[in-house]
Structure 1
Amino acid sequence: MPAFRQVGEKQLPNPVLCMSWSPKRDLIALANTTGELLLHRLASFQRVWSLPPVDCTGKEISALAWRPDGKILAFSLRDTKQVVLCGVEKAEILHVFPMQNPVTCMHWMEVTEESSALNSFYNSEDESKLFLPKLPTLPKSYSTTSKIFSEEKSDEIMNLLGEVRLNILVLGGDSGFVELYAYGMYKIATLTEVSGTCRSLSLSSDLKSLSVITEVRSADNNPEICYIQLDTGLLSDCLPEVTRMARKFTHISTLLQYLHLSLTCMCEAWEDILMQMDLRLTKFVQEKNTSTQVQDEFLELLLWGQSSPELQALLMNQLTVKGLKKLGQSIESSYSSIQKLVISHLQSGSEALLYHLSEVKGMSLWKQKFEPLGLDSEAIEGAITAVGSFSLKANELLQVIDKSMKNFKAFFRWLYVAMLRMCEEHVPPELNKMTQKDIAFVADFLSEHFSENEELFDRKGKYFNVERVGQYLKDEDDDLVSPPNTKGNQWLKFLQESTHLKESPLLFPSYPQKSLHFVKRMMESVIEECLQKPAEVIGKSVKQSILLPLYTVSESSENTPRLFEFPSLWNDKKAKMHYVLFCMPEISPSKLYLLRKPTDPNRHVPNSVMSIDLSHHLDGADDDDAEAPPNYVYSCLDARFYDDEMLTVVLQGSEEQNKSRVLAQVPLASAMSSKIEFKWEPNMRLDQQSSTIPCQSLVLGNQWRELESMKAQFVAVNGIRKVACVLSANLRHIRVFEMDVEDEDDEGAESQNTSADQDALDSTMSSAGQGREERAEADDEAGGQRGDVLQNTEERLESEEALEFS
């Protein structure tokens, strides 16, 4: 009997384009043609959750990658050129960033190298928590707040950063596009040494090299598959410095997003004020048949205590005393929300930004360590100054809000009293007294907020301006219409008279004519420039060490899905080797080829290419099946590295065998221990010299299983969890296998030793996904019914082929 067993099978309603196993748990992520991302659990292939495509992201998922701790899933969107980080626990979109090119493949690796400098950094990483208050979470009532900051008790930034140990998300795309992102967020390298479209890539765990499989157009315009090894020695040599810099810049990137979302919440609170007043005043203005303006109507009531019939009708019928009270409370609440957001969010975020940028400046002054990475102390000083200016502008807005609230309260108190008098109701004595100052506040409110001067605030069809605060929240380059009055400010007078202080780097410029949005965008661009420079410097340090053309792709294979990356790459951490696994169906369909290169480009190892003959794998068939012909010929459809010592392959029989499909495990020990050197002719592709490649035939014993009633085509595996998932040629029929059932006892012991946080996450996902699973079952049932038809069709086709070739 085979050493692996089927544990799940499903017919899916939509074709699957990507599938990838979690590195830590028995979870597999699937992306289908509708742009939906699905997460399934191994047990009975149950759906945990599904993430439908949303308007702000896209519908064509082109690649998947798991963060090494299994808590975050990255996927790329071809149509909108974006990369999305999704929280696995609750299917939340945590972070989205744009790309210049569509991403065709991705790989997320974790650095395994250790050093005393790294260990000391790991231990001191949490120092910022001693000096900085925890950032308050953003209000949940607003629609645009990101999921990162919505959990009451989560440490927002650390939640996204994960463990302190450096992990890098590598992205590849068209036109030689390759970028490296530390912690999946901060770009640390943009590479320029790659040509063609990236099909697969793998960064070695020691950071010494990056292996890339690309597809380029040859001289005769045929697609040609090449292997490229890039020397990333600078990352390896400066690993402690890269880790420290990436950690800080990822903090800074997340803080910028936090400030952006805080400002968005403020704008939404501001829109609440505008809508509340507009709703009350629009009907009044539309029905008014007098030529006087709204402002004049209220001024007349203020000065003479008399109101026009239209104003009286508005106040008594539409607004009412009770409605006025409610409106006043609602607008005051919106003002308070903006004030709180400025104090607790903008100022806290700015302080945290200044802290982290100051630490980065200290790093940049250590030129021996950090100058090779492109840290520029002058650029970072400019970023610190920009954050200071933003903090000053936020403080200025606080003062403006304070003054506006005084005017607003005075106006509503006066109007409340006026309406009580119109109703001939009793006016409380404490409200009946109005000082000259109160009258001035009301007049200020009327002149500012009911002006119909279009130059002040272009709000077509709207009748209420909240100009003084609103001008700060406008996302435009125009100067402030009503800049703050600085007359009599002793500090500004002192600065103007002290010429030596005007240009002092110790003082942050205040930009008195500009809005908060303008200063924020300026700050973001300055910081972005700081963040980009190391990526350019590190990218230029990466050089191509090897370029090996492997084989040409036939035009007939152009229509096969490219999202299942084959050739596939494997990074052997123990042996510090890169392995490239591929087959050349035009030359020898029954052979697998294995190319081996050291991860260190400076380490000389003879060219090692080995072919594995899979055509006679049934030689070791069970004795029970005595009638089985011993020499069946099989060709390879797909293959993946199961672990350091094993391959998982999907094979197809010849027409005489009715093109039956087989799932098999291929041991690599003999192929990897082979010392036969292959003399690679440098001016020839590998397929042109395939006859001289050393070959080994393998006998698999019981390490195979026939896949009945299924036209299997692709496979995804996880050797750590000992699981495999097979997908049919029509991309809708899936089977899941446990690969090492005889090791169940060991597996159980291993699962008992898993960390507590993994178990907690599993249970949280189970409870959070339970409702989704129930809803998903109905979808799967409908898909299964459609799939049953597909399966029956598949079985009918196979039986027809059997009749045809018998």
Structure 2
Amino acid sequence: MPAFRQVGEKQLPNPVLCMAWSPKRDLIALANTTGELLLHRLAGFQRVWTLPPSEYTGKEITAIAWRPDGKILAFSLGDTKQVVLCDVEKAEILHVFPMQSPVTCMHWMEVIEESSALSSFYNSEDESKLFLPKLPTLPKSYSTTSKIFSEEKSDEILKLLGEVRLNILVLGGNASFVELYAYGMYKIATLEGVLGTCRSLSLSSDLKSLSVITEVRSADDNPEICYVQLDTGLLSDCLPEVTRMARKFTHISTLLQYLHLSLTCMCEAWEDILMQMDLRLTKFVQEKNTSTQVQDEFLELLLWGQSSPELQALLMNQLTVKGLKKLGQSIESSYSSIQKLVISHLQSGSEALLYHLSEVKGMALWKQKFEPLGLDAAAIEGAITAVGSFSLKANELLQVIDKSMKNFKAFFRWLYVAMLRMCEEHVPPELNKMTQKDIAFVADFLSEHFSENEELFGRKGKYFNVERVGQYLKDEDEDLVSPPNTKGNQWLKFLQDSTHLKGSPLLFPSYPQKSLHFVKRMMENVIENCLQKPAEVIGKSVKQAIFLPLYNVPESSENTPRLFELPSLWNDKKAKMHYVVFCMPEISPHKLYLLRRGTDPNRPIPNSVMSINLTHHLDSGDNGNAADQSHYVYSYLDARFYDDEMLTVVLQGSEEFNARRVLAQIPISSSLSCETEFNWEPNLRLDQQSSSIPSQGLVLGNQWRELENMKAQFVAVNGIRKVACVLSTNLRHIRVFEMDVEDEDEEGADSQNASADQEGLEATMSSQGQGEEENLEAEGGAGEQEEGEGVFQKSEEHLESEEALDLP
């Protein structure tokens, strides 16, 4: 019986560029050449959902990584230089942030630290819930938010924090940059001076060091693969402080995004309806032949009940009585929506921001603990002031909305009666009563709103400031066309007359000439400066501990996808070591090399470099055929760390044995048991001193399987879930395996029943027709996604029952 049980196989319509198993579930994420992100289940390799490329994000996926809890998937886009966080449950984009250059590799790890200081912190961290009300969910009726976010999105944004334990997303690019993001959201370190293009990286779970594989152009212009170890001691030394700061700043980042989306919803509520008034009046002015102003014509109608033929044509033909009524209702509804968004979203979001920034300021004042991390109390005080100004501006907008609603109601009521009279229709008696005060009110409204603005003649036609709310929502740097009238405001007069209060830091500046958008952008910039400072300080503390040039990149590999072909890194949490597995095809194609370094850069490790000779001696016990006693000579195609003790490799036999491809498990412990010590010559590349590297023979036992009828090339594994996925050279043919089937066979009847269920599921799938499956594969689409969510839910129940068996 061959080792490893095959549980799925599929020909995909588009080549796969990246693949990664979920750390917690039997799910694998794939990214293909069309920019699609696909999620598949292990059983039968069924698709759960497809996230198609969008204009908002991009279509050239360069790397993917799972959050350690398996609930969020990060992927990077080369064409738009962005990193996207996606909700695995609903296939929705949660967060997008820009990068300075395309990301080539990423690694998302969880910090493992059992200290009493952290335990007490984890228990007391969520105090904000005691003081802050829950943020209202964003409305789903607006197109901008529905493109990116679901109706429950405000909750989803705050779920980005996930578990309290610190996790860090590490990103590497092709412009010598490496960045660390706490919780995948907040940048806690920007590292500079990493030579070359990052090809693979791994942050140790104790935060003491970061291992990076880079591709550097050497003096003779040959690409050279190098191993770099960076000392990140400040992060491990200040872990409780880093965690607390990171969670606070991640809260702040999510709140900024929440405010941005709330403002976007307000803009949409305003644009669709209120712009119609300006546009219709501008068109009227452009088409009318008389020299009188619009304001005069409306005043004439107000005073004498008569109107010019042009105004009458505008009112009766373009607006109409029915249209006027509808427009009035729409404007009132729109104002109410904006007012509700300001009160429930902007103000509650601003209060939460002030709370978290005030806590960060308190942290910054505790210099003994937080000064090494770069927290600047003065800069945070500036951010608090900027949030206060934004809150004041939102409150000013509420007053403008309130006044505008009263004005528009009175204006539309008068205009409705005037149009009924033009039509010679019956005017209801309750509308016919207009006091002198009402007439004066409408006259003031006309003189204030319907005067042509000479300063803005350069725009399309003549601009009318009919509507006061829109100027607050325009994302422009110009001052407000009609700033609020502050004459007679006793508080402002008192401030101006007081020498002590005029420039007091206790009072938030109000920026009376500026729009809400302008003040929001200013607030974002100030907070962004606060967020960046620690990343710069922590980044400068990271020093290069080791730089080891390994080997030259062979010219033959230029066309091979680098995402798979690179050396594979592993972070051994128990032994506190970094492992690197690689091959030097031009020097010794039949050897696999293992490099290991302690996560503590100051800790020397014996047997730092070993090699495995890929010549496998068969005996009759391997396959039961005594005539086959010989040896196979293999070359390495791909290798990944299965767990702390095992390597999963794809090997290719020599031509004399039909170049057969083999999936195998190689124990690391036996390879590292060699007593011969390798003395590294620091001035030479590793491939120039490969002859002196200690070597061990290949030990396969029964942990291998021939991959028949498949030109296998690459592999992705997950030792926790005991699964592997093999990909062909053309990047389209995939096979999925359960690896530790021997243990399951001993389980008895339960295992057999599970196997029978699996076969029944596969039979059901195949009866639906292969052609239909391929069409679904090519098309994707929303209908399939909804169906996929159901599959995902079933998968969850299945997995929960499995975890007791599979997980240690």
Q: TM-score, normalised by structure 2?
A: 0.90
Tell me, what secondary structure is at the counterpart of 1:468? coil
Aligned residue in 2 for 1:439: 439
161-170 or 50-59, which deviates more = 50-59
Work out which of the residue numbers 769, 776, 780 in structure 2 matches 1:779: 776
Indicate conservation of the 8 Å contact 1:568/1:640, yes or no: yes
Of stretches 111-120 and 710-719 in structure 1, the one that deviates more from structure 2 is: 111-120
Question: 2 CA distance for matches of 1:749 and 1:137?
Answer: 49
The one-letter amino acid of 2:520's match is K
Shift of 1:604: 2.4
Which whole-Å CA distance do the structure 2 matches of 1:459 and 1:140 have between them? 34
| Farther-moved stretch of structure 1 (325-334 vs 277-286) | 277-286
Contact 1:187 1:532 in 2 (8 A): yes
**Structure 1 CA distance for aligned equivalents of residues 749 and 130 of structure 2:** 39
Task: Give the distance between the partners of 1:372 and 1:749, measured in 2 at CA.
Answer: 59
1:320-469 correspondence to structure 2 within 5 Å: 320-453=320-453, 455-456=455-456, 460=460, 465-469=465-469
Cα deviation, residue 456, structure 1 = 4.3
Could you give the per-residue CA deviations for residues 609-655 of structure 1, whole angstroms, max 9, x where no partner exists? 11011221544763433343521211011000011111110011112
Which residue in the other structure is 1:114 paired with?
Answer: 114
Q: Is the counterpart of residue 496 in structure 1 residue 493 in structure 2?
A: no
Q: Which moved more, 1:136-145 or 1:288-297?
A: 288-297
Query: What is residue 797 of structure 1 aligned with on the other side?
Result: none
The corresponding residue for 1:566 is 566
- Measured after TM superposition, the shift of residue 777 of structure 1 is 5.2
Note the alpha carbon deviations across 1:229-274, whole angstroms, 9 max, x for none: 0000000010000000000000001111111111111111111233
Code of the residue aligned with 2:91 in structure 1: it is A
Q: Report if aligned partners of 1:620, 1:699 keep a CA contact under 8 Å in 2.
A: no
Q: Which residue of 1 aligns with 2:754?
A: none
1:127-206 equivalence runs, <5 A: 127-145=127-145, 150-152=150-152, 155-206=155-206
The 2-side partners of 1:415 and 1:288 are apart by 20
Displacement of 1:586 in angstroms is 0.7
Q: Using the TM superposition, name which of 666-675 and 167-176 deviates more.
A: 666-675
**Cross-structure match for 1:219:** 219
In structure 2, what is the Cα distance between the partners aligned to 1:127 and 1:344?
Answer: 22
Partners of 2:22 and 2:610 in 1: CA distance: 30
CA shift at 1:479, angstroms? 1.9
Partner of 2:486: 486
Please state if 1:545 is matched with 2:507: no
Shift of 1:493: 1.1
Is 1:474 the counterpart of 2:471? The answer is no
Query: Any residues of structure 2 matched to 1:672-691 within 5 Å, and which?
Result: 672-691=672-691
Cα displacement (A) at 1:747: 8.8
1:38-86 deviation per Cα after TM superposition (whole angstroms, max 9, x unaligned): 1111111111111111012111110000000111100000111100001
Checking the alignment, whether the CA contact within 8 Å between 1:479 and 1:513 is kept in structure 2 is yes
How far off its partner does 1:353 sit? 0.2
Against the structure 1 CA distance between its residues 673 and 113, is the aligned structure 2 distance closer, same or farther, given a 3 Å change threshold?
farther
Q: Note the alpha carbon deviations across 1:759-784, whole angstroms, 9 max, x for none.
A: xxxxxxxxxxxx9x99875233799x
8 Å Cα contact 1:448/1:468 also seen in 2: no
- Give the partner amino acid of 1:545: A
Deviations along 1:567-625, one digit per CA (max 9) or x if unpaired, are 01000001101001101111111111001111011222235111011221544763433
Compute the displacement of 1:318 (Å).
Answer: 3.8
Any idea what the Cα deviations from partners look like across 1:487-512, whole Å, max 9, x if unmatched? 11111111111111122111111111
Name the SS for the 2:563 alignment partner. coil
Asked whether the 8 Å contact 1:13–1:782 carries over to 2, the reply is no
Rounded Cα–Cα distance in structure 2 between residues aligned with 1:475 and 1:782: 38
Contact 1:607–1:679 (Cα < 8 Å) also in 2: no
Q: Quick one: distance in 2 between partners of 1:732 and 1:560?
A: 14
Kindly provide the CA deviation profile for residues 189-245 of structure 1, in whole angstroms up to 9, marking residues without a partner as x.
000131110010000000000000001011111111110000000000100000000
**One-letter amino acid of the counterpart of residue 78, structure 1:** G
Q: 2-side partners of 1:166 and 1:252: how far apart?
A: 16
What CA distance in whole angstroms lies between the structure 1 residues aligned with 2:640 and 2:399?
63
Q: Give the drift of 1:463.
A: 6.6
1:20 aligned partner:
20
Match of 1:754 in 2: none
1:37 paired to 2:37: yes
The question of 1:732 aligning with 2:732 is answered: yes
Cα 1:672–1:439 change in 2 (3 A) is farther
* Partner SS, residue 44 of structure 1: helix
Q: 1: distance between equivalents of 2:154 and 2:541?
A: 38
Please tell me whether the aligned partners of residues 157 and 254 of structure 1 are also in contact (alpha carbons under 8 angstroms). Answer: yes
Q: d(CA) in 1 for partners of 2:693 and 2:531?
A: 47
Equivalents in 2 of 1:149, 1:781: separation in Å?
A: 25
Mean Cα deviation higher: 81-90 or 266-275: 266-275
Contact 1:278 1:462 in 2 (8 A): no
Contact 1:616 1:633 in 2 (8 A): yes
Distance 1:623 1:666 in 2: 18
**Displacement, 1:675?**
4.0
Structure 2 residue runs without a partner (length 5+): 752-767, 781-808
Normalization by structure 1: what TM-score?
0.91
For 1:796, the equivalent position in structure 2 comes to none
SS at match of 2:558: helix
**Secondary structure of 1:481 counterpart:** coil
Change (3 A) 1:620 1:355: farther
SS in 1 for 2:630: coil
Deviations 1:337-370 (A, max 9, x none): 1111111111111100000000001111111100
Partner Cα separation in structure 1 for residue 35 and residue 578 of structure 2: 32
Opposite residue 775 of structure 2, the aligned amino acid is A
Q: Does 1:603 align with 2:600?
A: no
C-alpha distance in 2 between matches for 1:718 and 1:749: 26
After alignment, is 575-584 or 488-497 more displaced?
488-497
Question: Identity of paired residues, percent?
Answer: 89
**Mean CA deviation greater in 656-665 or 288-297:** 288-297
RMSD: 2.4
Higher mean alpha-carbon deviation, 430-439 vs 587-596, is at 430-439
Aligned to 1:594: 594
Which stretch of the first structure deviates more once superposed, 317-326 or 147-156?
Answer: 147-156
User: In the alignment, is the contact (CA less than 8 A) between 1:259 and 1:349 conserved in 2?
Assistant: yes
Contact 2:328 2:412 in 1 (8 A): yes
Aligned counterparts, 1:592-671, within 5 A: 592-606=592-606, 608-616=608-616, 618-619=618-619, 622-671=622-671
Q: Work out the CA distance in 2 between the residues paired with 1:621 and 1:60.
A: 48
| 1:161-193 CA distance string (max 9 Å, x none) | 111110000000113210000000000000013
Residue by residue over 1:687-720, the C-alpha shift from the partner in whole angstroms, topping out at 9 and shown as x without a partner, is 1111111110023122111111111110000111
Q: Which moved more, 1:608-617 or 1:361-370?
A: 608-617
Per the TM alignment, residue 723 of structure 1 is displaced from its structure 2 partner at its CA by 0.7
Residue 703 of structure 1 corresponds to which residue in structure 2?
703
Instruction: Read off the aligned partner of 2:567 and give its amino acid letter.
Output: P
How far the C-alpha of 1:296 sits from its partner, in A, is: 3.0
Q: How far apart are the structure 1 equivalents of 2:159 and 2:343?
A: 24
Partner secondary structure for residue 398 of structure 1: helix
- Specify whether residues 617 and 31 from structure 1 end up closer, same or farther in structure 2 by C-alpha distance, changes over 3 A only: farther
State the match for 2:294 in structure 1.
Answer: 294
Between the aligned partners of 1:494 and 1:386, the Cα distance in structure 2 is 23
Instruction: Name 1:505's counterpart in structure 2.
Output: 505
**Structure 2 counterpart of 1:209, which letter?**
S
Q: Deviations over 1:357-405 (max 9, x none)?
A: 0000111111110000000111111110111111111111111111111
Could you tell me which amino acid in structure 2 is paired with residue 493 of structure 1? K
In structure 2, the residue matched to 1:303 is: 303
Q: Is the 8 A contact 1:137 1:150 kept in 2?
A: no
- The amino acid across from 1:36 in the alignment is E
The answer (yes or no) to whether the contact 2:138–2:152 under 8 Å persists in 1 is no
Kindly indicate whether residue 259 of structure 2 is the aligned counterpart of residue 262 of structure 1. no
Task: Give the match's secondary structure for 1:622.
Answer: helix
Matches of 1:543 and 1:747, distance apart in 2? 51
User: What is the identity, as a one-letter code, of the residue corresponding to 2:499?
Assistant: T
